[in-house]
Structure 1
Amino acid sequence: MPPAASPGSRTVVVVVQDRCTKEQPPMERGQSHGDDTVGAAPWVPAPRDPVPGRIPLAVVVVGADGRISHWSSGARRLFGPTREEAVGACAVDLMPVTGALGTKEWDGREDGPEEGHGPGLEASLVGATSYPTAGRARMADTGTAALDVLWWAYPLVGPGAERLLVLAADAAQVHRGQGSDERFVPAFALHTDFPGSADLARRLPEILPSMSPQESARIVSQVLELGYPVLEISQQERFPVTPDWGVPRRVERRTRLLRAARAVADDPQAAAAAAAELESDLEYAAVRERLEFLNEVSGRIGSSLDLARTIQEVSEAVVPRFTDVAGTYLREQVVAGEGFPDGPPDAMTMWHRVAVEHNDEPGRWDDVVPVGESMTFPVQTPFFQCMTTGQPVLVPRISDEMGNAIAAQFEKRDISPLINGRSLLVVPLKARNVVLGFMILLRHPERTEFHDMDRVTGAELAARAGLVLDNARMYTFQENVAETLQDSMLPQIAPRMAGCDTATRYLPGTRLGRVGGDWFDTIKLPGSRTALVVGDVMGHGLNSAAMMGQLRTAVQTMAAIDMHPAQLLRGLDDLAQRLGDNYLATCLYAVYDPIGQRLTLANAGHIPPVLVRAVDGRSELLRLPTGAPIGVGGVAFEAVTVPVAPGDRLVLCTDGLVEVRGEDIGVGLAALAESAAHPAASMDDACDAIIRALNVTGDRKDDVALLMARLNGITPDAVAEWRLAIDPREVSRARRLTGRQLADWGLGSSAETAQLMVSEVVTNAVRHAHTRHVVLRLVRTDALLCEVSDDDHALPQLLSAGPDDEYGRGLRVVSRLAREWGTSRTSTGKTVWFEQALPQSRQVRQVRGSNAM
């Protein structure tokens, strides 16, 4: 350790000052003045004219194993690695501090050194002296020049594991403004060797990592006992090392003018002119600085309509230039996107902490004020005053008494250590005279207090931030409305229909809006058939979604009366023309008959579907008459019937899946056909494979609707059909036929319920049929489907029969016993059907769902 300064030696004192500096009265000779060369690099003054200065410091804590446990922002700026990269790394790999560390030989244990630290040896505190060490070394920088590093290392002793406190600085910062022949050596000196030693001891915690007051006091005492870090110019001239956190340009300009005023101190007229110039220049500089700050903040915020990103931009814009801590709170309705909050806030209003930005050490605020917490604010707090009045609240300095009183209002935690001694400014975030939230701004005790000009600046900042947040809130609200509308209009499709399995995907467009006019649907039809529909309303937005809902409802209505596919599209086209000129849409309507093993399709300007054959895995685009889009009018629609086999797959989609800007749509259709032919473990996997193969990214401009159906078919042995005469005696025959057939299918336990419902439906059909026979059909799939058809077009009604009524109880019995039932008109009359759950339906569903495609 270098010898201490002799009583007659010359000493330069450097006083710690934070970002802003208050004007101080002149001091006696030998003391430091806080307004000279604020923010400048240390330099060697004349012995009788001590001038304070500061240098940027890196603060690092190294554990007993030689690995880094704390890495300050100054260390990141000096050495390059981020905190996440440095913590846990070996100290000697990132800093030239080998002289402060010993080596430890490992015996092959599992917790040995990582690869790259040498065989059997690792840097640690083993062998390190109990005295502080210092050094100077050159190390390769990330750029082209080498880095000249000054460092000081203190062994920290006491409770817990051994640790090493390392302070480092760039020697280039010291040489700034010095001659090339000056000598700079890191050394140590007792704080009592310097004038103003009490001030140095009080400000020493500023260069230490944040820790509890007890631990901080213990470490400070060790540092002061071992020797204060200094730069030695000679063994007789040294000055303390203190951190430079950076200061505003206004303070530097003020310092320069103060020097000019002292230079003319002997001339009263020149001194008066310099003082007037100083006052005018300070006022001008202060206003200009705040305008520049507000313009800079306005340029940084509002780059996105995402609420979370906007809040983060606002927080990062004010720290550290305007404040040291910024906490942002929003009303829960704003965060949830529920629209504009109703009424003024009160003591019961819930506030959501959405951001906490600070330049303190990491983790200090996380446990006490975690982001994401919802809370109310007590009445007796400055925060409540700001949110109820809508005006900024300024507390120049929070005394211990005031801080403890504020902290006492919060039951869950003690916030007094975070706010005591700090300057406080609370500014409201308003839009249209409604408080959406507020920001809590705090400055370190060493920094200049908030004043009236800061209050005005903070209010203007909050006003601009409030407008940006309101725009983001409105966008979030509209997006939620659009998504809710879209979700409500998209059908909840059952994955299993009679004779076919389905899977769907819907991906909303993100470039032009999250809501559009694409839709798909599956509709149950008489005769165990299924209608498969996909459509696309031209355009985007709420209007397109509303049109889509109307057209989808119309398709379901016309499908319920079993209209032929071509006739259905004709009816849909007529409806679109009656609704308005803006109704234009494409639509593909397909009817699958699992018993007859055929598809009947009609197209209205939509892209063709893909059919994947199960026998050889070959895929093909079905050639259909294109037709004109719905709403054009005056164009005929044609239907095409295509034979299919069990296991074939039909793929229907909208053009957003296959269209690529700058390419012919035929390229996308070919890619669709190719990707659909690839085997997959399940229907869902097949849909995902198509989405991946066509490279559907989150930056697409159009919606994507995809409907895939596996056409399983219904085998002839699962279908039974009889023709019944129009005779009441046929009701008993229908019961016998039903019981016998269910027994043959091994469903005898379900026969009694099925016979009762068949009896009621056939009785109604025999009573109302006119000239033709009644058809009874039973279909066994996952459930028992019963269909009774006759030539009467009048649909039966569910009635409330009284005790004396002879009729009206049949359909009520069916509605109570059946899993599902319904009626539909056909071209020759009507069909009444019901489904009955079967005991083995669950096992059948599990077996079929496990089959590969």
Structure 2
Amino acid sequence: MDRGTERDTPPSRGAGSGAAPEPADTGRVPLAVVVVDRAGLVSHWSSGARRLFGVAKDEAIGRHAIDLLPVSGALPDIDDGLPYGKYPPYDGLGPGLGNSLDGGLGYPAAGRARLTVPERSERGIAPAEGSGRDRVDVLWWAYPLVGPGSERLLVLAADAEALHRPDRDDGSRVERIAPGFALHTDFPGAEDLARRLPEILPSMSVGESARIVAQVLELGYPILEFSQNDRVPVTPDWGVARRVERTARRERAARAEAAGRPLPQEPDDEGEDLEYVAVRERLEFLNEVSGKIGTSLDLARTIGEVSRAVVPRFTDVAGTYLREQVVAGEGFPDGVPDTRTMWHRVALEHTDEPGRWDDVVPVGEAMPFPAHTPFFQCMTSGEPVLVPRISERMGHAIASQFEKRDIRPLITGRSMLVVPLKARHVVLGFMILLRHPERAEFNDMDRVTGAELAARAGLVLDNARMYTYQESVAETLQDSMLPHIPPRMAGCDIATRYLPGTLLGRIGGDWFDSVKLPGARTALVVGDVMGHGLNSAAMMGQLRTAVQTMAALDLPPAQLLRNLDDLAQRLGETYLATCLYAVYDPIASELHLANAGHIPPVLVRADDGRSELLDLPTGAPIGVGGVPFEAVRVRVAPGDRLVMCTDGLVEMRGEDIGVGLATLCESAAHPAASMDDACDTIIRALNTRGGRKDDVALLLARLNGIEPDDVAEWTFPLAPAQVGRARAVVREQLHGWGLAKLAGPAELMVSEVVTNAVRHSHGRPVTLRLVRGDALLCEVDDDDHEMPTLLSAGPDDEVGRGLRVVSALAREWGTSRTAAGKSVWFELTLPRR
């Protein structure tokens, strides 16, 4: 309140009174706030102190408090001849501020004094009427402070002139107004009072202000005692906010100018409030920085934005260091950093001449920091570390970490502030901020600003780190689920492309695959799980594995889709997918295809370059159940190209899918120098239309076929003597093909495989086929359905070594089931010509 005695308050216990305490109204009194350090010097001088005592902030900071404050009546110019005299300390302690600063003051003290202040007119403060000098009636409260900070005394002061109470009939004033203290138990609404206390503290960190508030609350609230009976707790009253007041002035001036009236004369603002200006500038700076950082979720770009945002306005040099796990895009770093933690220098911004820092502290370097450095203190405590000036000794200690590089000329004599980059209470990194020696040192307010800046930057960096990590996980998951198809299979060349959805995440349910089948055939698969995200990717992995397993059993295309549909229904009702399955036989020059709700493939004819959509029975998506699947056979010629893709490539929102299919046919018919070029042509033609949001899987196969002269086939009756004949025909054929170097190992393996086939067949002759392609393929078919396995043959065993010989000599070998029995095959690498 401004006139604290203009209303009646219930009598309550004053100092020395035995009356029971009664609730009292809260008074709002403009307060001056002063902080004294352990050396007895003023370290904080608020704008209210400037107005009350008539001393500017820059003149008060660093002076002995006893020269400026009336604490404990210690000032020599207090007028002892006043009618009411001077009030002793509230707690009965002896006078003397020096004793209080030395630690003797363990309780709060309060008092009243009349001061003679300097000429305030020179400072923009109206002097008392009739005099260039002024006297001020001051009420004060002093709180001793303990703890790790430099603050040792908090002094609150108020002008008593505004608190006189004209409650007598003749209008005379009650002069007995004294400052005092009361515990929170003496007043209701103590929590509301406690919430107002931080408003009177100087600008400091949250931790420091919380420590001081806790001590003040423990020592007692400041109160005013009227005639030692009525007590009113005091809360700060800052008046009208500067920003609101100035805005109102501008509005009044604008209205006057619009009306053609002279501008109104506004009262003097008592000079520029430097403290308010400093706080406002820092808030504007933080707001500006917040708008510059975090414009994207790219980690490298975010790091650069954070570094550039503080140079040169806040600092001249800014170096950013991040933990190894953050830079590597791994998970959240665990544990408190130690001397073994590697820190990567990821950015360096400065205002020095170009190249001065690049050779000495290059970006990308990783290094640990020992325990005696301020960097280690910052990253382990999670608090900013302020070094007003880097001394020669500290500069030498820091430079010792840089092998064969003298960093001392770059850092010695500069002011340094190290701020942690934290997220979820874990230090991700830190920033080293340096100012030139001729620039003002970092101070406590800069430390608070730097801490707030680092908190915002840490949050932005953590968001970018999490996005980078999740993107890396998604890419790794997608890469692990998509096969790495060799570019050449038996009788065909293959090229593939996968494009993740641009707006719906990095992973999806589209896939492609190719599986080697008996008879030099190749299975080609493209599928699309409905939906996006991890669930679709997981289902895609299951279906792809199932297709590979059933394809290895050489199931016909329609039967494979039938089994896949049954599997999807067993996995769950939400499992729906489309699938196109094709088997290419390069010897017969034939495609055997079946479709389960997928878009049809495109076949480009080699003879005339004509492209067409193959007319296939559509079928129902996998997982619907109860719908038959049909297969068709299509004759192809060497050089024809088969294009299989998912609907994300051809389907656009708001456009008929027929337009996309027509564009696919047209782009697939364009000649290309290679298979990869052909894929890129198709992607460019359909991806440049815009609006694509779905995943894209594309598989392109050039059906080269296998010439009849590259295939040789024989049939042998079930007689042991036929094994020798098999060796002979193989030797003769390989010499005819110019592959005499392969004759020896091929004869040995053919002998082992044909022997097993003759021994285990039930009645059907054994078939032997050689195929010359990118490798030499040998297949032996019989009518035995039992699959052979590798055995561990002992020294005395007469059987069990055949497949071990094949496994040791062949480049690749395997077994597969056929409609009539089984097939055992192996491959040998062709010699270089």
Q: What is the TM-score of this pair, normalised by structure 2?
A: 0.67
Q: In the aligned structure 1, how far is the partner of 2:122 from the partner of 2:675?
A: 80
| CA offsets 1:416-451 (integer angstroms, 9 cap, x no match) | 222222221101111222211001112222332211
Q: In the aligned structure 2, how far is the partner of 1:322 from the partner of 1:632?
A: 64
1:261 and 2:130 correspond: no
Q: In the aligned structure 2, how far is the partner of 1:365 from the partner of 1:262?
A: 50
The alpha-carbon deviation at position 302 of structure 1 amounts to 2.4
1:761 and 2:753 correspond: yes
Task: Describe the SS at the equivalent of 2:615.
Answer: coil
Q: Note if contact 1:396-1:423 (Cα within 8 Å) is conserved in structure 2.
A: yes
Distance 1:700-1:329 versus aligned 2 partners, 3 A rule: farther
Structure 2 residue identity aligned to 1:365? W
Task: Describe the SS at the equivalent of 2:687.
Answer: coil
Q: Who is 2:29 aligned against?
A: none
Q: Who is 1:301 aligned against?
A: 293
Q: Who is 1:208 aligned against?
A: none
1:350 and 2:342 correspond: yes
Q: Who is 1:783 aligned against?
A: 775
Picking from 614, 628, 634, the partner of 2:626 is 634
Q: In the aligned structure 1, how far is the partner of 2:747 from the partner of 2:598?
A: 45
Q: In the aligned structure 2, how far is the partner of 1:838 from the partner of 1:684?
A: 25
Q: Which moved more, 1:741-750 or 1:423-432?
A: 741-750
Q: Who is 1:647 aligned against?
A: 639
The alpha-carbon deviation at position 263 of structure 1 amounts to 9.5
The alpha-carbon deviation at position 259 of structure 1 amounts to 8.1
Q: In the aligned structure 2, how far is the partner of 1:719 from the partner of 1:450?
A: 84
Gaps of 5+ in 2: 1-44, 47-56, 59-119, 139-157, 160-268
| CA offsets 1:81-138 (integer angstroms, 9 cap, x no match) | xxxxxxxxxxxxxxxxxxxxxxxxxxxxxxxxxxxxxxxxxxxxxxxxxxxxxxxxxx
Q: In the aligned structure 1, how far is the partner of 2:452 from the partner of 2:711?
A: 77
Q: Note if contact 1:380-1:409 (Cα within 8 Å) is conserved in structure 2.
A: no
Q: Who is 1:218 aligned against?
A: none
1:670-689 equivalent positions in 2, closer than 5 A: 670-689=662-681
Q: Who is 1:431 aligned against?
A: 423
1:474 and 2:466 correspond: yes
Structure 1 residue identity aligned to 2:509? G
1:156-167 equivalent positions in 2, closer than 5 A: none
Distance 1:619-1:261 versus aligned 2 partners, 3 A rule: same
| CA offsets 1:243-288 (integer angstroms, 9 cap, x no match) | xxxxxxxxxxxxxx99863997984459999x99769933333333
1:557 and 2:420 correspond: no
1:623 and 2:615 correspond: yes
Q: Who is 1:815 aligned against?
A: 807
Structure 2 residue identity aligned to 1:602? A
Q: Who is 1:568 aligned against?
A: 560
Distance 1:267-1:634 versus aligned 2 partners, 3 A rule: farther
Q: Note the aligned Cα RMSD (angstroms).
A: 2.9
Q: In the aligned structure 2, how far is the partner of 1:439 from the partner of 1:740?
A: 76
| CA offsets 1:553-587 (integer angstroms, 9 cap, x no match) | 10000000100001111111111111112222111
Q: In the aligned structure 1, how far is the partner of 2:734 from the partner of 2:444?
A: 90
1:384 and 2:247 correspond: no
The alpha-carbon deviation at position 368 of structure 1 amounts to 2.4
Q: In the aligned structure 2, how far is the partner of 1:673 from the partner of 1:791?
A: 44
| CA offsets 1:446-472 (integer angstroms, 9 cap, x no match) | 332211222122222212221221121
The alpha-carbon deviation at position 752 of structure 1 amounts to 2.3
| CA offsets 1:189-216 (integer angstroms, 9 cap, x no match) | xxxxxxxxxxxxxxxxxxxxxxxxxxxx
Gaps of 5+ in 1: 1-21, 24-33, 36-256, 844-853
Q: Who is 2:539 aligned against?
A: 547
| CA offsets 1:144-197 (integer angstroms, 9 cap, x no match) | xxxxxxxxxxxxxxxxxxxxxxxxxxxxxxxxxxxxxxxxxxxxxxxxxxxxxx
Q: Who is 2:698 aligned against?
A: 706
1:454 and 2:317 correspond: no
Structure 1 residue identity aligned to 2:717? A
Task: Describe the SS at the equivalent of 1:655.
Answer: coil
Q: In the aligned structure 1, how far is the partner of 2:322 from the partner of 2:414?
A: 23
Q: Which moved more, 1:576-585 or 1:596-605?
A: 576-585
Q: Who is 1:584 aligned against?
A: 576
Task: Describe the SS at the equivalent of 2:273.
Answer: helix
Q: In the aligned structure 1, how far is the partner of 2:609 from the partner of 2:342?
A: 59
Q: Note if contact 1:301-1:468 (Cα within 8 Å) is conserved in structure 2.
A: yes
Structure 2 residue identity aligned to 1:261? G
1:337 and 2:337 correspond: no
The alpha-carbon deviation at position 664 of structure 1 amounts to 1.5
Q: Note if contact 1:431-1:467 (Cα within 8 Å) is conserved in structure 2.
A: yes
Q: Note if contact 2:121-2:127 (Cα within 8 Å) is conserved in structure 1.
A: no
Distance 1:803-1:304 versus aligned 2 partners, 3 A rule: same
Q: Who is 1:801 aligned against?
A: 793
Q: Note if contact 1:510-1:699 (Cα within 8 Å) is conserved in structure 2.
A: no
Q: In the aligned structure 1, how far is the partner of 2:329 from the partner of 2:122?
A: 56
The alpha-carbon deviation at position 808 of structure 1 amounts to 0.7
Structure 1 residue identity aligned to 2:521? R
Q: Who is 1:847 aligned against?
A: none
Picking from 708, 719, 737, the partner of 2:729 is 737
Task: Describe the SS at the equivalent of 1:656.
Answer: coil
Q: Note if contact 2:565-2:622 (Cα within 8 Å) is conserved in structure 1.
A: yes
Task: Describe the SS at the equivalent of 1:614.
Answer: coil
Task: Describe the SS at the equivalent of 1:368.
Answer: coil
Q: In the aligned structure 1, how far is the partner of 2:662 from the partner of 2:811?
A: 43
The alpha-carbon deviation at position 712 of structure 1 amounts to 0.9
Q: In the aligned structure 1, how far is the partner of 2:339 from the partner of 2:426?
A: 16
Q: Who is 1:444 aligned against?
A: 436
Q: Note if contact 2:512-2:526 (Cα within 8 Å) is conserved in structure 1.
A: yes
Distance 1:726-1:258 versus aligned 2 partners, 3 A rule: farther
Structure 1 residue runs of 4 or more that deviate by more than 4 Å after TM superposition: 257-260, 262-266, 269-273, 275-280, 696-700
The alpha-carbon deviation at position 694 of structure 1 amounts to 2.1
Q: Who is 1:725 aligned against?
A: 717
1:536 and 2:528 correspond: yes
Picking from 282, 285, 299, the partner of 1:290 is 282
Q: Who is 2:817 aligned against?
A: 825
Structure 1 residue identity aligned to 2:453? L
Structure 2 residue identity aligned to 1:292? E
Q: Which moved more, 1:290-299 or 1:734-743?
A: 290-299
Task: Describe the SS at the equivalent of 2:516.
Answer: strand
Distance 1:470-1:699 versus aligned 2 partners, 3 A rule: farther
Q: In the aligned structure 2, how far is the partner of 1:371 from the partner of 1:765?
A: 67
Structure 2 residue identity aligned to 1:429? L
Task: Describe the SS at the equivalent of 2:326.
Answer: helix
Q: Note if contact 1:393-1:426 (Cα within 8 Å) is conserved in structure 2.
A: yes
Q: Note if contact 1:789-1:831 (Cα within 8 Å) is conserved in structure 2.
A: yes
Q: What is the TM-score of this pair, normalised by structure 1?
A: 0.66
1:527 and 2:519 correspond: yes
Q: In the aligned structure 2, how far is the partner of 1:270 from the partner of 1:682?
A: 96
Q: Who is 2:306 aligned against?
A: 314
Q: Note if contact 1:264-1:270 (Cα within 8 Å) is conserved in structure 2.
A: no
Structure 1 residue identity aligned to 2:807? S
Q: Which moved more, 1:404-413 or 1:370-379?
A: 404-413
Distance 1:620-1:264 versus aligned 2 partners, 3 A rule: farther
1:328 and 2:320 correspond: yes
Distance 1:800-1:696 versus aligned 2 partners, 3 A rule: farther
The alpha-carbon deviation at position 401 of structure 1 amounts to 4.3
Q: In the aligned structure 1, how far is the partner of 2:476 from the partner of 2:333?
A: 19
The alpha-carbon deviation at position 636 of structure 1 amounts to 1.4
The alpha-carbon deviation at position 701 of structure 1 amounts to 2.4
Q: Who is 1:366 aligned against?
A: 358
Picking from 388, 403, 421, the partner of 1:411 is 403
Q: In the aligned structure 1, how far is the partner of 2:429 from the partner of 2:689?
A: 35
The alpha-carbon deviation at position 524 of structure 1 amounts to 0.7
